[in-house]
Amino acid sequence: MAEIFISYRREDARAEAGRLHDRLAARFGHRQVFMDVDDIAPGEDFEQRLQTTLGSCVAVVVVIGRDWLGRDPVTGGMRMCDPGDFVHIEVRAALARGIPVFPVLVGGAAMPARAEIPDVLTPLLTRQAIELRDARFSDDVAPLIEALGAVVRLQPRRRLARRPVLIGLGAALVLGASYVGYRSLGPAALQLRSEPAPMTSAAVGAMLVRHDFFDARRNAAGRGPVVRLEARAIGDAVVVVDRSTHLMWQQGAAGSPQVFADTTATIDALNKAAYAGFDDWRLPTLAESMSLMRPQAHAGAFVDPAFAAGAAPFIWTADRSPPDRGWVVYYYDGICASESVRFNASVRGVRTLRRSP
């Protein structure tokens, strides 16, 4: 169960709550943060899921915008005063349980006046509020993350039994060696799509099973591909060559975590600088990124040991999740997930190795 519950009113602070969700998920793990839009499956009982999650979480973050009280357009009254209002229910339940409740002010909002909310919710007013400003979001959210870290139980990463995997020549890191001979590669053992495409959750599940890729949530029985990875230093750059897919990867990340719209500029910068001597770097597809996932954690991440586990714990892929989201691979959690394009994730460049004519 998620340990952090984000309470918000959709018509009041949906975008701000989504941005906060992304940042908290990046710090505590996607499965540790609950926000109804992302975490309630189609057809699931909305109210029952809310009550179940509220009953097991250890902290609640209440996102308060300028219309948090929720004026009813018909009656003119405040929905927050209605005991059946979902936001009222969420805040009341959190206060009744006595767990930490963190008011977060967004969009220039202030805490409501005591006269504006029912008596059962007034204990919220004694909680220290945190203001999140768009221009200083990273600085403003830091104390909230620190406070949540004091109460959230960071669950250990899953460590599954090792499955038999054929180890190829590239399992060990070969640093300092020169780059030779990859233009003479034979046919790829694993053919993966390199062009971006929209992918639904059903299509992702089918892809994972088809390639036997491990995903702790969608295909926990996946064993991962045959390992044929080799890390090499080319000048000041360190790359990882996958002979099974004919792909060359950055071993680390390109820059700091960023929103999806900024990934194009990051890849362009790699190519302009001719990183490792090449100018055809691109954002990987979801299938390419999942080919690096392993069913056994290495240094706390489910990524092949040829990669630095903490360098890019979650990365953007080029594939989109209809209608307006993107696919992110979480190596720390061993999963892939559909995220808002405003989410901040790392970029790990990839390029296709060319065969000789």
294 pLDDT exceeds 70? yes
Looking at the fold, whether 173 and 123 belong to one and the same domain comes out as: no
Is residue 200 a part of any domain in this protein? yes
Measured between its terminal Cα atoms, the distance across the chain in Å is 54
The confidence score (pLDDT) of residue 286 equals 98
- State residue 355's pLDDT score: 56
> Can you give the CATH number for the domain in which 75 is found?
3.40.50.10140
pLDDT at 298 > cutoff 90:
no
Residues 175 and 293 in one domain: yes
Question: SS3 of 64, please?
Answer: strand
Based on the fold, state whether residues 192 and 304 are members of the same structural domain.
yes
Phi-psi region of 263 (alpha: psi -120 to 50; beta: other; left: phi over 0): alpha
Alpha-carbon gap, residue 99 to 62, rounded angstroms: 13
Confidence of residue 1 (pLDDT cuts 50, 70, 90): low
| pLDDT reading at 320 higher than 50 | yes
Name residues whose C-beta falls within 8 Å of residue 127's C-beta, 6 or more positions apart in sequence.
Answer: 101, 102, 103
Q: Are residues 138 and 194 located together in one domain of the fold?
A: no
Q: What is the pLDDT of residue 42?
A: 54
Residue 249 phi, psi dihedral angles, 5° rounding: -115, 150
Q: Is the CB of residue 127 less than 8 Å from the CB of residue 121?
A: no
Question: How many angstroms separate the CA atoms of 252 and 310, rounded?
Answer: 9
Question: How far, CA to CA in Å, does 248 sit from each of 189, 218, 252, 280?
Answer: 15, 26, 12, 11
Question: Would you say residue 240 has pLDDT above 80?
Answer: yes
Mean pLDDT of the chain: 84
In this prediction, residues 65-83 reach a mean pLDDT of: 88
pLDDT at residue 281, as a whole number: 97
Q: What is the mean pLDDT of residues 273-283?
A: 95
225 and 143 in one domain? no
Q: What is the pLDDT of residue 300?
A: 78
pTM reported for the whole predicted model: 0.55
Q: Which has the higher per-residue pLDDT, 356 or 249?
A: 249
The answer to whether residue 107 scores a pLDDT higher than 60 is yes
Decide if 162 is inside a domain.
Answer: no
Domain membership of residue 159 (yes or no) is: no
Residue 348 falls inside a structural domain = yes
* pLDDT of res. 188: 64
**Model pLDDT, residue 187:** 60
What confidence tens digit (pLDDT) does each residue in 2-11 have?
Answer: 789 999 998 8
227 confidence band (pLDDT: 50, 70, 90) = low
Distance CA 82, CA 41 (A): 26
User: CA 40 → CA 35, 37, 48, 178, 283, distances in Å?
Assistant: 8, 6, 10, 50, 29
Judgement on whether residues 122 and 175 belong to the same structural domain of the protein: no
- In this prediction, residues 187-214 reach a mean pLDDT of 90
184-197 residue pLDDT tens: 455 667 889 999 99
Q: Are residues 306 and 208 in the same domain?
A: yes
| Residue 163 counted as domain residue | no
Please say whether the beta carbons of 91 and 124 come within 8 A. yes
pLDDT, residue 54, reads 82
247 and 327 share a domain?
yes
Q: Which of 67-76, 182-191, 252-261 is the most confident on average?
A: 252-261
Q: How many domains does the chain have?
A: 2
The pLDDT assigned to 310 comes to: 75
Min mean pLDDT across 80-89, 150-159, 346-355 is at 150-159
- Among 34-43, 101-110, 256-265, the minimum mean pLDDT is found in 34-43
State whether 123 and 237 are in the same domain.
Answer: no
Residue 157 lies in a domain: no
Tokens of 208: 């994972």
Are residue 251 and residue 117 in the same domain, yes or no?
A: no
Residue 193 resides in a domain: yes
Does a structural domain hold residue 276? yes
Q: What pLDDT, in 10s, does the model give residues 147-188? A: 898 888 544 433 333 333 322 333 333 333 333 344 445 566
Q: Report pLDDT for 186.
A: 55
Out of 121, 149, 177, pick the residue that ends a domain.
149
Structure tokens at 209: 């099973």
Instruction: Tell me: do 134 and 175 sit in the same domain.
Output: no
Q: Is the pLDDT of residue 274 over 50?
A: yes
Among residues 298, 292, 308, 203, which one has the least CA distance to residue 252? Answer: 308
pLDDT number for residue 265: 96
Q: Tell me what the mean pLDDT of segment 285-311 comes to.
A: 89
Instruction: Reply yes or no on whether the pLDDT at 137 is more than 90.
Output: no
Q: Are residues 105 and 136 in the same domain?
A: yes
Residue 225 has pLDDT above 70, yes or no: yes
Domain of residue 79 covers: 4-149
